[in-house]
Amino acid sequence: MTKSLAAVLAAFSLATPPALALAANRAVVEFSTCAKPEWPKESLRNSEQGTVQLAFLIGADGGVHDTRVERSSGHPLLDQAAREGLARCTFKPAQENGKPVESWTRMQYVWTLEDPTPQQIEASRAALRVAAERGEAASQYSLAVMLRMDHQEVQALSWLRKSAAEDFAAAESMLGVMLLNGGQAGDVPEAVTLLGKAAEQNERTAQVALADCYENGRGVAQDYAQAAKWYQRAAQANSRNALISLARLYDNGQGVPKDSAKAQALLEQAVAQR
């Protein structure tokens, strides 16, 4: 048997402890930022496998402030490796009245020596669906992400709309980009509206996409100053695409004073993000 790490990763909402404010939107992980936790050598030698369920306390700053193992894989080394590895994922904090707040979220990680079975994938999807059907915006978004990975675009779009209806920034951003890039011409105004709402909540992808709309006059009047504003907001979070685009505006003097030195500095910063 080839010993290669594969995993099924899913995120769910946890009931907020009484000591914490009840958030309208729960914390959500950005799956694309989650690198595979390193398999402990001793666990690999012993062919240890299993599923660990973890809980993370996500602060208003999006950082992990606390973690706990809710259900062990049966192997402490695997539990700890998953706990340490997933704590390095990027999280979007919960929102209450438009402001980030502290909340708990739950993640599950499957350690297996082979590709995850259809049963394991379906179990993760089923757990997300239960939470999504309860109306939890974060789970609706996570389920949409999983469905998109399985190329089930119609179902993914449906769950994204439900999540976006709850003003969940990540869903607004993804839905806006989907409508902008793959929808009909009549979808562009809706896409811009969604991107604007997500951008105001500091959703980086939405900020870059909205800036591009302003730069190219897509769905809005062309406005280089607005383009520069949103590229700058995203560049503050070291978005490589935003840094490159902002450098272009500085180099051309569009929406910002022409400054070739500033443009070069931004390009160097973008290169450093590789």
Q: Return the CATH number at 243.
A: 1.25.40.10
- Residues 66 and 153 reside in one and the same domain: yes
Q: What was the pLDDT predicted at 25?
A: 58
- Strand residue runs (E) in 135-210: none
DSSP 113: S
pLDDT string in tens for the chain (274-residue length) = 333 334 445 544 433 332 333 334 567 777 666 767 788 877 877 778 888 888 888 888 888 888 888 888 888 888 888 888 888 777 888 888 878 888 888 888 888 776 667 777 787 788 888 989 999 888 898 888 888 888 898 999 999 999 999 998 889 999 999 999 876 778 899 999 999 999 998 888 899 999 999 999 999 999 999 999 999 999 987 788 999 999 999 999 999 999 999 999 999 998 876 5
DSSP character string of 61-112 = TS-EEEEEEEE--S-HHHHHHHHHHHTTS-EEPEEETTEEE-EEEEEEEEEB
Q: What was the pLDDT predicted at 20?
A: 31
Q: What was the pLDDT predicted at 16?
A: 31
- Residues 44 and 147 reside in one and the same domain: yes
- Evaluate whether residue 177 is within a structural domain: no
- Residues 31 and 72 reside in one and the same domain: yes
- Distance (Å, whole) CA 114 – CA 269: 39
- Evaluate whether residue 160 is within a structural domain: yes
- Evaluate whether residue 47 is within a structural domain: yes
- Residues 43 and 144 reside in one and the same domain: yes
- Evaluate whether residue 119 is within a structural domain: yes
What's the whole-model pTM score?
0.63
- Residues 97 and 205 reside in one and the same domain: no
**What is the amino acid identity at position 205?**
T
Q: Supply the range of the domain harboring residue 249.
A: 194-271
CB 43 within 8 A of CB 62: no
- Residues 162 and 201 reside in one and the same domain: no
CB 178 within 8 A of CB 161: no
Q: Which of 37, 72, 35 is nearest to 52 (CA)?
A: 72
The dihedral over CA atoms of 84, 85, 88, 90, expressed in degrees to the nearest 10, equals -130
Q: What was the pLDDT predicted at 215?
A: 97
- Residues 133 and 238 reside in one and the same domain: no
- Evaluate whether residue 159 is within a structural domain: yes
204-216 and 240-252 helices, crossing angle to 10°: 30
Q: What was the pLDDT predicted at 274?
A: 55
- Evaluate whether residue 173 is within a structural domain: no
The number of folded domains in the chain is 2
